[in-house]
Amino acid sequence: MNRTKTYVLLAALTALFVGVGYMIGGPAGMLIALALAAGMNLFSYWNADKIVLSMYGAQPVDETDPDPLISNFVHDVYALADGAGLPRPRVHIVDSDQPNAFATGRDPAHAAVCANTGLLRMLTRAEVRGVMGHELAHVKNRDTLTMTLTATLAGAISSLANIAMFASMFGGRRDEEDRGGLIGTLAVALLAPFAAALVQMGVSRSREYEADRVGAELSGDPQALASALRKIESYAQGVPNIEAEMHPATAHLFIINPLSGGRVTDGLFSTHPATENRIEALMRMPELGWTAPPSLAAATSVPTTEAPVRKGPWG
């Protein structure tokens, strides 16, 4: 089902991209846009993880890191992946004070998970495990390809729409005969990124609830994930994520909207479901009869004590 959704989503975004190309350059522009879209889809498919990680300056880490905050984090990710029957993903961190996390990659064998340093500092170890369970759920559900390709195409549509607006305003076509074309081009320039955002947001919201549920099962602690969501949203409101502001089309990749003023509701223009609704669903899991199986508890066991909530060597 996820593969079908991916194809439908890519078809919709490609059609938007080609439509903007037509408004800019007519049939020739449409063909150029179609070729660009095909090239971007192929490039993004094979390099989805590298594209996003590069945008955020993510650095790889492993269990040998001298900082226990980081080495424990990597250990927990590996334990969660092993318990879920997934290949161990590459683990990265981003030097950002905002607590947040995302996953990327075209399939479980080529997946990467990434946490901001603020997440490791501000959340307890159990809460971080809950967050990474959520991100591994995206990997397990094969959401990461769709989410990354969506970010790439949505960003490209916005850029192409900006070119269309510039061409309309300064292209030199001012006579009455071309006025209709000018208005049409301006309309597409304004509506194309809006339509792309709607597609992007709708798909993102529908996947987050499922990733919460599966992530809670992987981590064995729905309450810890619920607590993490509440903390992340609270901190994210006052701590900007500069890279996310520069690449707003990637906002749906994160567990909580990273954009300034991005308090989430279940409204039409939300990249994520309302956090309170997600928390409510998680807190109801024990009421619905869910319990962590013993094998899961063993798979996610970790050495000794919780890592303290403190600043790491990055400042």
CA atoms 190, 191, 194, 196: torsion sign: negative
Distance CA 23, CA 83 (A): 51
Residue 247: both structure tokens together: 């690449």
Residues 6+ apart with CB under 8 A from 112: 49, 53, 58, 89, 90, 91, 92, 103, 104, 105
Q: Model confidence at 179, in pLDDT bands (50, 70, 90)?
A: very low
CB 145 within 8 A of CB 4: no
Phi, psi of 90 (to 5 degrees): -70, 140
pLDDT in tens, 269-292: 566 888 999 999 999 987 666 665
Model confidence pTM above 0.85 = no
| Selected catalytic residue, list 127, 135, 217, 233 | 135
Residues 6+ apart with CB under 8 A from 278: 208, 209, 212, 226, 229
53-57, 193-197, 297-301: least confidently modelled range: 297-301
Is 135 known to be catalytic? yes
CB 82 within 8 A of CB 133: no
pLDDT in tens, 111-126: 999 999 999 999 999 9
| Residue 284: exposure state from Cβ atoms within 10 A (0-12, 13-18, ≥19) | exposed
The closest alpha carbon to 254, from 80, 95, 52, 83, belongs to 52
